[in-house]
């Protein structure tokens, strides 16, 4: 079984916040649920506050996607997520 992870980030400089992250989470989970042989989990949202020259806050959530078979390709997983909010995927182990 292969697992990859990706983060979704909402930044206060671009409006919205936790409600937008929750919306993306529900849409991503629904999109991946219809793909055969794909198991997905998500961490609770994390709040970060930056106090650089341009102060901002962020909400982040990490998703873990595991493929348990060959019926679904990684390209199908990437396409399902990227239709909602593009993300960079990292291989695990």
CB of 6 closer than 8 Å to CB of 62: yes
pLDDT, residue 74, reads 96
* Residue 25: predicted pLDDT: 97
Predicted TM-score (pTM) of the model is 0.91
Report the pLDDT value the prediction gives residue 12, as an integer from 0 to 100: 83
What's the pLDDT score for residue 54? 75
CA dihedral defined by 50, 47, 14, 22, rounded to 10 degrees?
170
65 DSSP β-pair partners: 4, 40
Whether the Cβ atoms of residue 14 and residue 25 lie closer than 8 Å to each other: no
In this structure, CATH architecture of domain 2-80 = 2-Layer Sandwich (3.30)
pLDDT along the chain (93 residues), means of 10: 94 84 97 97 94 83 96 97 96 84
């Amino acid at each position: 079984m292969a697992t990859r992870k990706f983060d979704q980030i909402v930044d206060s400089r671009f409006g919205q916040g936790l409600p937008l992250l929750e919306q993306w989470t529900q849409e991503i989970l629904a999109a991946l649920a219809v793909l055969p042989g794909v198991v997905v989990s998500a961490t609770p949202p994390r709040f970060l506050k930056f106090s650089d020259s341009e102060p901002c806050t962020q909400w982040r959530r990490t998703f873990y996607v595991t493929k348990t078979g060959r019926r679904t390709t990684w390209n199908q997983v990437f396409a399902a997520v990227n239709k909602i909010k593009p993300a960079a995927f990292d291989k695990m182990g």
